[in-house]
Amino acid sequence: MLFSSVLRAIPAAFLLSSANASPVESQARALATIDQFVKTQTTVSINGVLANIGTDGSKAQGVPAGIVLASPSRSDPDYYYTWTRDAALTYKALIERFVTTDKSLRQKIDDYVSAQAYLQTVSNPSGSPDAGGLGEPKFNVNRTAFTGSWGRPQRDGPPLRATALTIYANWLIDNGGRTQALNTVWPVIAKDLVYTVRYWNQTGFDLWEEINGSSFFTLSATHRALVEGAALATKLGQTCDGCATAAPQVLCFLKSFWANGYIDSNINVNDGRVGKDVNSILSSIHTFDPSAKCTDATFQPCSSHALANHKAVTDSFRSVYAINKGIPQGQAVAVGRYSEDVYYNGNPWYLATLAAAEQMYSAAYQWNQTGSITIDSVSLPFFRDLMPSVAVGTYNKTSSTYATIISAVRTYGDGYIAMVQKYTPANGGLAEQFNKATGAPLSAVDLTWSYAAFLTAAERRDNIVGPTWGEPSNNVAPASCTAAPSCNSRITFNVRATTVLGENIFIAGQATQLGNWAPADAAPLSASKYTSSDPLWTATIDMPAATVFEYKYIRKSSSGVVTWESDPNRRYTTAGGCGSSSTINDTWR
């Protein structure tokens, strides 16, 4: 059983090269190949990350210290910006590396703290620093606001940054740096936590910057940040207003995403997708706690829900990419964002494929910590892909089945690493994507997040893990969810627009309340006060307080023809106080 199960998980390419070898020899050669690749690519990846960080990164010359380039690519696509999300995930990987092995990274980390403290003061299209501005997804590399059109706000940046810096602050406290943690690092974390508490129950754009709704990834990151932020505040003698009360409610809300045996990664939006998205696997590895058990509520990597979801998501790519053709269930495939993806015609991503590997290594680590593996009806299909005869039950470390499962799962993870190896160029450069038909690298070159994803996957493979974030005492959701108190500003929209019988006026814009620019979902205005001398259309809508949004009026005819008013988009910032009200007076243009 052991060798047959393990061999199912090793990509066929490796087995074909060893067709005349025994099963033991084939397995040994495949693993040796992976071991060498991981060693070599880890060096390439840490160098790749550092090359993209100012001020002395070889590909970030002239970029301010601590600023992370998403990629040095300036065209097709232009990623020569710094994203709050990408930078936070990159620095989370660097800070964990610093804590466990590499103390040479400290100056880089201190530079990041300073850079983020500055960016938190920059007013931008998402708002001022105290009115939604922390939800701005990206900035110019010279630390100025990016003012072009974009999917904003994105609410994952602040909690992700808070998590990265909380790991650093805790290390400082434990190593004689309490003053630095309190006076330099905590103020940055505190601002992010205030934003996170205030906006967690508001919709925003997902990590792929395409869907404005409720994102599983954002809310998972939010729960972790609030839990560890509250604990850090107590340790430093500070306050984290709302953290302790919001965290369990976020955890309760996360239950809403589980449906039909997997995580529907984006809800409260009509996106036309089935919801199988690597967003959810990324959530699992981000909220991985090495001290946790296999908790479904926090989607721990070894939990039944996370394993069932891993199968659902990875299986969804088996038939959409030519390079996956013929690879059966239970063997690793190239993984993309979601099967309906059309960006660059929809392809596998290095970081997505690496995330699938990392979950497997993290799950094996957790089972080895707890000393047992429990298979239930939810996770059984996942395990049967690797071991067809396995049954529901609990298997302890002393059993041969336990050892077989651990070996098969880790080898399954190696299969995803092998997939990355197969489509990584000889110099180890990791782009954003690789072609679904040929495997050739695509889109942005030297993507920082791709390199960071390799580092964390390799560390989990070597059983190197970050510190606990407190999951064991924060993994029980309330019996019933209570929505966060709304902090809305009531806006009365008045527009003078002359119409003919059968025509109606609507308002569409950059907010869920305004239909996210979709004419079919736009908010209707009333003609109850309309006269020939004063063609007034009006509507009163509750919008999130302290929020910047863009909007336009549209005209719909009785036959359904939609006419937009002329450019540019209109723009408004709601008042900061909860329950405030204001009136906008516009004229159709």
- The amino acid sitting at 195 is Y
**For residues 82 and 65, what is the distance between their CA atoms, to the nearest angstrom?**
12
**For residues 276 and 66, what is the distance between their CA atoms, to the nearest angstrom?**
35
Report DSSP letters for 234-280, one per residue: HHHT---TTHHHHHHHHHHHHGGGEETTEE-SEESS--SS---BTHH
Scan for tokens 């990590």, then name that residue: 207
Q: Do 408 and 291 touch, CB atoms closer than 8 A?
A: no
Closest CA to 523 of 553, 546, 564, 503: 553
C-alpha 447, offset from chain centre = 16
The residues facing 53 across adjacent strands are 68
Q: Identify whether 521 is a catalytic site residue.
A: no
Q: Is 537 annotated as ligand-binding?
A: no
Q: Do 332 and 419 touch, CB atoms closer than 8 A?
A: yes
Scan for tokens 């190896």, then name that residue: 421
Q: Identify whether 206 is a catalytic site residue.
A: yes
**For residues 292 and 469, what is the distance between their CA atoms, to the nearest angstrom?**
9
Report DSSP letters for 426-454, one per residue: TT----SEE-TTT--EESSSS-HHHHHHH
Scan for tokens 């946790």, then name that residue: 292
Q: Do 205 and 151 touch, CB atoms closer than 8 A?
A: yes
Q: What are the distances in angstroms from CA 340 to CA 228, 312, 320, 441?
A: 35, 14, 9, 20
Given 86, 192, 206, 358, the catalytic residue: 206
Q: What are the distances in angstroms from CA 251 to CA 123, 306, 336?
A: 31, 15, 27
Given 110, 209, 521, 542, the catalytic residue: 209
**For residues 311 and 293, what is the distance between their CA atoms, to the nearest angstrom?**
20
Residues comprising the chain, all counted:
589
Scan for tokens 């239970």, then name that residue: 330
- Assess whether the previous peptide bond of 125 is cis (omega < 30° from 0): no
Joined tokens for residue 155: 């609410």
Kindly give the pairing relationship between strand 266-267 and strand 212-215.
antiparallel
Burial 234-261 (b: 16+ CB within 10 A, else e): ebbeeebebbbebbbbbbbbbeebbeee
Closest CA to 193 of 251, 138, 254, 245: 245
Scan for tokens 């050892």, then name that residue: 403
Annotated binding-site ranges for substrate: 150
Annotated binding-site ranges: 150
Residues forming the active site: 206, 209
